[in-house]
Amino acid sequence: MSSSLLARFASRFDSPDLRVAPTSTLTIGGLRVEVLAGLTVALALVPEAVAFAFVAKVDPLVGLYAAFIVGLITALIGGRPGMISGATGALAVVMVSLVTAFPPAVGVQYLFLTVILMGLMQIFVGIMRWGKFIRLVPHPVMLGFVNGLAIVIGKAQLDFFKTADGTWMSGGQLVLVLSLVALTMLVIWGMPKITNAIPAPLAGIAITAGVVIIFGLPVPNVGDLASISGGLPSFALPDVPLNWETLEIILPYALILAAIGLIESLLTLNLVGEITGQRGGASQECIAQGAANTVTGFFGGMGGCAMIGQSMINVKSGGRTRISGISAALFLLAFILVASPLIEQIPLAALVGVMFMVVIGTFAWNSLKILLIVPRVDAVVIILVTAVTVRFDLAIAVIVGVIVSALAYAWQNARRIHAKSHITPEGAKVYAVQGPLFFGSATGFVELFKPKEDPAMVIIDFADSRVADQSALQAIEAVAAKYEAEGKAIQLRHLTRDCHRLLTKAGHLMVDSDDDPDYAVAANYGVRTGILGSH
């Protein structure tokens, strides 16, 4: 059941505007869709980048430059075309404690150096090909990840329903903003039923913005957050002392940021891959994220990673190739350089409506149904990862989910160890061990045997078992020692050659290949005592 959870989740996106089109040749129409998808993503990136910059306590341009540089480099060399990267809240909440530990002008310089070190770590992970270990993340953890992230994205939009003094909107203003949000969502829902010529999110933003501008409606817009006008990012070395004390300060932050960035990026890579039917690219994505963050640190950006919300906007808008990601980055740069007065007029309600549709599309609604169908442990993991993602952050949630899943798997396998026994015509007792023998089942394995009651010769057959680790070998040693102490012979059958080598090195076993010609891996105890001679 669990092997099909993510496939069921991805099937929710199987709509005409999301089905994967052949990408071997890019037509003029396809190019237009890719560029418009990039424009839609760029519009949604602006308030997100500004908001995350505020969270990290840095200038809005620091967030916008990160969104541009990280987005451009990962679009060019990333492991999955269609993914969007930029400044993210998951990283911003970690950065803020570093930035605020120093005066503002100093703290941001430490941040830049931290982002560079973070990027170098991610490049190292990619070179070592450690990104492949993301496959160890179970499907229930993946479902909890998307559910938790959907809730986090939704919660982040609630801040846009506050006034300048931090109080919640009320009365006519709240009704007006909610109406515009609803209008945007309605357009996004209905546009694909009319035409796919224009990405639905872009149409929603354009129509809502047009209504606000034509009628002069008094609602918050992008310009109310901050000015996004600026110049090209310039190269500069972080203005901090390069010594051991600085490394001690930034190393813990760099490690955490690198881990969070890679986990979120690789999980997003898997999610986009399920939707678009693509595979692989984990190590390449690690290198791309690392290169992007290293460059960003030298050009005044706060670093970033893959963004599931913007990636879903891109996919839903028809973005399937690198062109959409590159377009998004270039449009964002154009907004900063020349189009800021126009972009700043876009109502926040339109962008909130887009993100609410992302929340609806991201949340794995079918996971609510399967909670009563899947094994109880999987259901607990889905709920746990969702809750931890919302309460803490993604990295902690995934680590907790993997640990709980691994412990549950180990416990289930530990309970599988058992043995069937019978007496041979020669009077020897045979234990046919069944189930995996590893650290979790080692104690149960030892308890299967009765050295005091068994006959003078005992045979332990591992044909239906698997000796997995050092704890398993130690358990075999313990059982053998008990029989040896009783003056009885023990014979081990159907062990692998690796197990034989390790047990022989331990000093107790003598290998007798003639005893088990089919496997050539028989081992005898009792040779030294004379109870069981060699064959």
What's the pLDDT score for residue 71?
96
Backbone angles phi, psi at 460, to 5 degrees: -110, 115
Q: Are residues 344 and 428 in the same domain?
A: no
56 and 148 fall within a common domain:
yes
Q: Are residues 63 and 164 both part of a single domain?
A: yes
Residues 61 and 183 in one domain: yes
What is the model's pLDDT at position 512?
A: 42
What does the pLDDT look like over 49-67, one tens digit per residue? Answer: 888 888 888 999 999 999 9
Q: What's the DSSP call for residue 533?
A: -
Please check whether residues 99 and 165 belong to one and the same domain. Answer: yes
Domain count across the chain: 2
Between CA 122 and CA 255 the distance in angstroms is: 9
Q: Give 369-396 pLDDT, tens digit per residue.
A: 888 888 889 999 999 999 998 888 777 8
Residue 479 lies in a domain: yes
Residue 4 lies in a domain: no
CB 191 within 8 A of CB 198: yes
Q: What is the pLDDT of residue 267?
A: 86
- H/E run at residue 223: helix 222-225
Does residue 406 lie within any of the structural domains? Answer: no
Minimum mean pLDDT range among 194-208, 288-302, 499-513 = 499-513
User: Domain range for residue 69?
Assistant: 28-365
Domain harbouring 437, CATH code: 3.30.750.24
Shared-domain flag, residues 465 and 356: no
pTM for this prediction: 0.74
| Cβ-proximal residues to 518 (8 Å cutoff; 6+ apart), any chain | none
- Is residue 336 within 8 A of residue 63, CB to CB? The reply is no
Crossing angle for the helix pair 470-485 and 497-505, nearest 10 degrees? 60
State whether 321 and 234 are in the same domain.
yes
Looking at the fold, whether 255 and 360 belong to one and the same domain comes out as yes
Helix residue ranges, H only, 56-103? 60-77, 89-99
Domain boundary among 350, 365, 380: 365
Report percent pLDDT > 70 for the chain. 88
> Is 389 within the bounds of a domain?
no
With tokens 């002008």, the residue in question is: 105
- Do 104 and 229 fall within a single domain? yes
Give residue for tokens 């918050």. Answer: 220
- Nearest Cα neighbor of 348 from 475, 207, 222, 513 is 222
First to last CA, the chain: 49
Write down which residue in 365, 380, 395 finishes a domain.
365
Let me know if residue 48 belongs to a domain: yes
Q: For residue range 237-296, what is the model confidence (pLDDT) as tens digits?
A: 999 999 999 999 999 999 989 988 998 899 889 888 877 777 778 999 999 999 999 999
Last residue of a domain, one of 343, 365, 387: 365
Average pLDDT in the chain:
84
Instruction: Let me know whether 445 and 346 are in one domain.
Output: no
Residue 377 lies in a domain: no
Lowest mean pLDDT among 117-126, 245-254, 405-414, 447-456: 405-414
Kindly state whether residue 410 falls inside one of the protein's structural domains.
Answer: no
146, 365 contact by CB (below 8 A): no
Would residue 386 count as lying in a domain? no
Instruction: Quickly tell me which residue has 């980048």 as its tokens.
Output: 49
Checking if the pLDDT of 534 tops 60, the result is no
Residues 426-485: pLDDT tens digits?
Answer: 899 999 999 888 888 999 999 999 999 999 999 999 888 888 888 888 888 889 889 989
Tell me the torsion sign for CA atoms 503, 505, 509, 510.
positive
